[in-house]
Structure 1
Amino acid sequence: MRALRVSHAWYGDLCEAEPIRTSSHRSYLELRARKSLACAGGVFEGIDPARLAAALPEPDRPSLVHLDLYPGNVLVEGQEVTAVIDFGGLPIMGDARLDPLSAVIYLTPFITPTATDRDRSLAREWLQAQDLDELFEPAERWLAARWSFATGDVRLHRWCQRVLLEHHGDP
């Protein structure tokens, strides 16, 4: 995905009916988190979208980000990824680092119950080797805010609550 070249000069939603688009990645992250949290209702009252966005770096340029890379959306043959599917409403023009981060974050038992502790350990080791481990927690908090609108998915909503309310008050 990172190899795909795009020429958009903005950050934001690609497939939303009313997309958020801004010239700054952090501004997009804040507005998107604010919109999702508002849809989630009062359970996340007091979560500051600006602080969530400020904890993530500004990338050099916008990149296509799938934002839903979990095992069910990645087709593999042997040791090779052959396709990425389900570009529903989540793809964005954003920071390319969010794709590998989200893939590892989604290995949590709340989201991917079939993932093992070994899977999670290997994935975290891989993030460290890519110098992405320091972005894990800020990305996890932002993704939880991004998914907070999904109140009908009990497992996912519990994960959002655990991540956001456990870190409430952290930058």
Structure 2
Amino acid sequence: MDKLQQVIDRFNLNVLTIEDVPQSFSSAVYQIKLMDHRTVYIKIPYSKAKLEREYTVLERLRDELSVPQVLDYWEGNEDVTGALLLAAINGVPATGRVDAELSYDIGVQHAKLHAIIPNDQDFNSAVSNVYSQWSEFIQKQFYSFAADVKEVIEPRLFEQSLQHFERHLKLLPSPDGPCFIHMDFRPGNILVYENQVAGIIDFESVRIGATEMDFTKINRDIFMKYPGTMEAYQRGYESIRPLIDLQEVLPFFRFTDAFNAIGWCKRRGIEKHRNFLQENLAYLSAFFMKVQ
């Protein structure tokens, strides 16, 4: 039986229409319009760990942040990893132009996530605590992609990358945490309505860690594209909690993000993700031209 149909049957849904949700890279996500004209979402993560992590975090954060409400949860069977049935949030991904007003609110909402202090139960949940081995976690992430990257880029650029990583990892400031970090905080996972943040989605990669890694993708996709947004974001963020010195950490994490993204493209299919691959290759090459 088709996996999606199994999930629909399990949740006992009367379906009118089904649409794939694009830009979902670690789960299969479907927008479901029901016969009573309500809209819900089915999310089928690619692994049990992602399923359990997202369910745990959504239940934990539901009274603290605007996150999708879990309407139903299925642990799965031998064919399906499991699934979440999620209520819709009235908003659209922030993938268009971002102005200072919206960037300010993104800063507010991001800080609210980081301001949630993990408790004893959180440290014993499905959410991994990587804060206590923060440098080791960054290393593990980087080197997990290195074998893939090595097959794609020139040997000299690869060696430069390894040397730069090891040298600058030691120069990072003391980690800011422990707190919940989204790990994929990008425009596609920030829903907006009337130029305000309506909700934050996709918590399957969440960790208990340090904040500095969590600014990487909004730097790449918002700050570097739209002038004035970093300053507005900082004002919003600092209205909730202190912000680390972004200029001290963003160059390093932008570099590691580009390196890791190249490895990710190799794993997921170069032809399918060629544009993203070329974008990160160009950034990495230009980066080392500047630091020489």
TM-score (norm 2): 0.44
- The one-letter code sitting in structure 2 at the alignment partner of 1:2 is H
Which runs of structure 2 are paired with 1:100-111 in the superposition (5 Å)? 100-107=215-222
Deviations 1:98-121 (A, max 9, x none): 323431222388xxxxxxx5xx21
Is residue 65 of structure 1 aligned with residue 181 of structure 2?
yes
Q: What displacement does 1:2 show?
A: 0.8
Structure with the bigger RCO (C-alpha within 8 Å, sep 6+) is 1
Which runs of structure 2 are paired with 1:47-62 in the superposition (5 Å)? 47-48=161-162, 49-62=165-178
Specify the structure having the higher radius of gyration (Cα). 2
Is residue 92 of structure 1 aligned with residue 214 of structure 2?
no
Give the unaligned 5+ runs of structure 2: 1-112, 236-242
Of residues 9, 15, 28, the one that matches 2:137 is: 28
Q: 100-109 or 62-71, which moves further after superposition?
A: 100-109
Runs of 4+ aligned structure 1 residues displaced above 6 Å come to none
Amino-acid identity (%): 19
Give the unaligned 5+ runs of structure 1: 110-116
Partner residue in 2 for 1:161? 281
- Partners of 2:146 and 2:231 lie apart in 1 by 31
- Partners of 1:53 and 1:147 lie apart in 2 by 18
RMSD of aligned Cα (Å): 3.5
Which runs of structure 2 are paired with 1:67-82 in the superposition (5 Å)? 67-82=183-198
Gap change, CA 1:85 and 1:127, over 3 Å in 2: closer
- The one-letter code sitting in structure 1 at the alignment partner of 2:261 is W
Pairs aligned (count): 155
- Partners of 2:130 and 2:210 lie apart in 1 by 14
Q: What displacement does 1:34 show?
A: 1.0
- Partners of 1:37 and 1:108 lie apart in 2 by 27
Is residue 41 of structure 1 aligned with residue 150 of structure 2?
yes
Deviations 1:21-58 (A, max 9, x none): 57332221122111122223331621214235334323
- The one-letter code sitting in structure 1 at the alignment partner of 2:275 is R
Does structure 2 conserve the Cα–Cα contact (< 8 Å) formed by 1:75 and 1:81? yes
Q: What displacement does 1:72 show?
A: 1.5
TM-score (norm 1): 0.69
- Partners of 1:37 and 1:123 lie apart in 2 by 32
Gap change, CA 1:157 and 1:94, over 3 Å in 2: farther
- Partners of 1:92 and 1:52 lie apart in 2 by 23
Gap change, CA 1:53 and 1:146, over 3 Å in 2: farther
Partner residue in 1 for 2:261? 147
